[in-house]
Every structure is written in C-alpha cells, then in structure tokens.
Structure 1
C-alpha cells in the first residue's frame, strides 16, 4: 500500500495525461446509387467529374463519451449524367479524459475524424468497386483546414440571428 501512496505522491503536481480512446466504430447510414447502369459502366468519352463533400458532427453521450460522425458524399458525373452517388455516415464513439476544455472542440472535430477516416474511405472504395467502377480512393482530408475554415465562417456570420449557416 505504501508503494501506491508513493506513486500517487510522485504524480502530485503533474498534470493528468490527456487520453483519447476509440470505444467503437460503426456505419450509421450508407447509400450507393447507380442510376444509369448498365449504360454508365462502359467506356466513357471523357474523364468524369467527381465532387466530394465532407462534414463532421459531434454528439455528447456522457461526461467523457462523444459520438463523432464523419459524413462523406461523392458524386461522379459525365456531361450531365450521374454515374454514381455514394453517401456514408460513419461514426465512432470516443472517450476523452483529461482533455482541457479549450482543446476539446479541436480534438473532437480534428483528431477524432482523422482516426475513423481510413475506415470510411475503404467503405467508399469498396462500394464504388462493387458498383462496377474503379474504386474511388478519397484523398486524405485536412481536418485542421476544415476546422479553421468553419471557425472563420462562424466568425463572419451575422451576429444575433442564432441560426447556423
């Protein structure tokens, strides 16, 4: 027992170590549309245009647990015809302990999505491949840049309307 007290005394004055644990990961929603198959599956005259959208949502589940949902959507078009549309809402349940309040938002919208992104990316690649197309390998996402962009947009939003843009 004295060893435990010695260890506790040795940690006195030391800040508690911040921890981030992934408790679980899961698909909340997934959709793949192939509206012009089989015609869209053959050779194409031009390179398709592919647009990718990303969003992150956070839901507090308890004092230390947060659900972080990464929403990805990708649409491929040639001329005015949609080749495919894939959407996934992929989430993780994270336990954050000893994270300073001033760092909490950044950890939730930068580090947590960074942890689950590779898994959502693989699902998108598998869905597009299984839909008859080459696998869509979404480029790595700059979650720091997205976070800074969102904060800048919020700072420029008209004050007092109380509505998100």
Structure 2
C-alpha cells in the first residue's frame, strides 16, 4: 500500500514549476475609478438604452528578470444622448514570472496569456462597481487578446527596435 501522508515539495516539483512558461506571482488592483455624475438627480428609470464604449489596453513594465508587470486597463463610458450616465476605469495588474521559453514566444505570453489571466478579475470589479452605482452590472464580453496583439504587433515591433537601439547606444 502506498504511503498517503502529506509530502514535502521535492526537487521534481520545483523543477516543474520553474519550467512553467508563465507563472502568476502576484495580482492586484492598481487603479480604479467610478464616476456617477448624475447621481444627485435621482435614479429614475432610464428612458432609453445607454450607448457608449469600452476601451481595452495592455501595459507592460519590466521588472527584475525574470519578472514582469502586466496591467490590463479596461474603461467603459455609458451615455444617453449627450448625458454621461457613468464612467468606470480599472487598471488590474499582475507580476508574472517568465520561464525558459524561446524568444519568439515571450511577447505573445506577455501580451496574450497574461492579460487573459487578469481579465476575469477586472471584469468582475467593473460589474460590481457599476451595480453599486445603481445600474445593472456591466458584464464586458470576453476580449480577443490574440486579435488585440495582432493589431498592435507593428507598434510593438517598433518599440522593441527602439529599445534595442537605445541599449546598443548605451554599450
């Protein structure tokens, strides 16, 4: 019969963890804002459906290697005509540890997988804040981070070239 007592982490477990391509070290709410400019006017039922926009951005800040901070910025504004109903902005971040992965896989891990892991938490914060503001919760549809990455790839490649040129000039 096998011993079923709790075991201490062994070297194989530590090696497996070190081999993970992306590990969440820590995640946190970095910045949050909710504006309800017409709250003093009372909460009469909305006469028409609000319109608005949702903005999504991924921000990256290098840290001591192999760690990197990735922030998911989500913003939403709801209006009826020219009247702003509410504005909500959230920057939810995480510190991620990059494992040993080929260079060509680093950027997709950072720009696709990291924000994909942060999204559900940021989405819930926004839904709760909008509901606490007296409105139906705003459930943001899942974001296609692959397409967002593809759309931003020319800008990202230019930023990488600029960073490499700056590094080369320092050497």
TM-score (norm 2): 0.78
> 2:35 maps to what in 1?
33
Task: Report the secondary structure of 2:96's partner residue.
Answer: strand
> 2:102 maps to what in 1?
100
> 1:53 maps to what in 2?
55
Distance across 2 between alignment mates of 1:87 and 1:121: 11
Question: CA RMSD, aligned part only?
Answer: 2.5
Task: Report the secondary structure of 1:128's partner residue.
Answer: helix
Superposition deviation, residue 143 in structure 1: 0.3
Distance across 2 between alignment mates of 1:135 and 1:77: 15
In 2 relative to 1, CA 75–40 (structure 1 residues): closer, same or farther, beyond 3 Å? farther
In 2 relative to 1, CA 40–149 (structure 1 residues): closer, same or farther, beyond 3 Å? farther
> 1:123 maps to what in 2?
125
Superposition deviation, residue 151 in structure 1: 1.6
Distance across 1 between alignment mates of 2:109 and 2:156: 18
Superposition deviation, residue 38 in structure 1: 3.9
Structure having the higher helix fraction is: 2
Distance across 2 between alignment mates of 1:153 and 1:69: 18
Q: Which residue among 123, 148, 156 is the counterpart of 1:146?
A: 148
Unaligned segments of structure 1, at least 5 residues: 1-7, 9-15, 161-165
Query: 1:110 aligned to 2:112?
Result: yes
Is the 1:40–1:83 contact (alpha carbons within 8 Å) kept by the matching residues of 2? no
TM-score (norm 1): 0.80
Unaligned segments of structure 2, at least 5 residues: 1-11, 13-17, 163-171
* 4+ residue segments displaced more than 3 Å: 152-156
Partner deviation per Cα, 1:10-56 (whole Å, 9 max, x = no partner):
xxxxxx94421111110111000000114363212211003100000
| Larger deviation, residues 124-133 vs 147-156 | 147-156
Distance across 1 between alignment mates of 2:149 and 2:120: 19
> 2:23 maps to what in 1?
21
> 2:74 maps to what in 1?
72
Distance across 2 between alignment mates of 1:46 and 1:40: 16
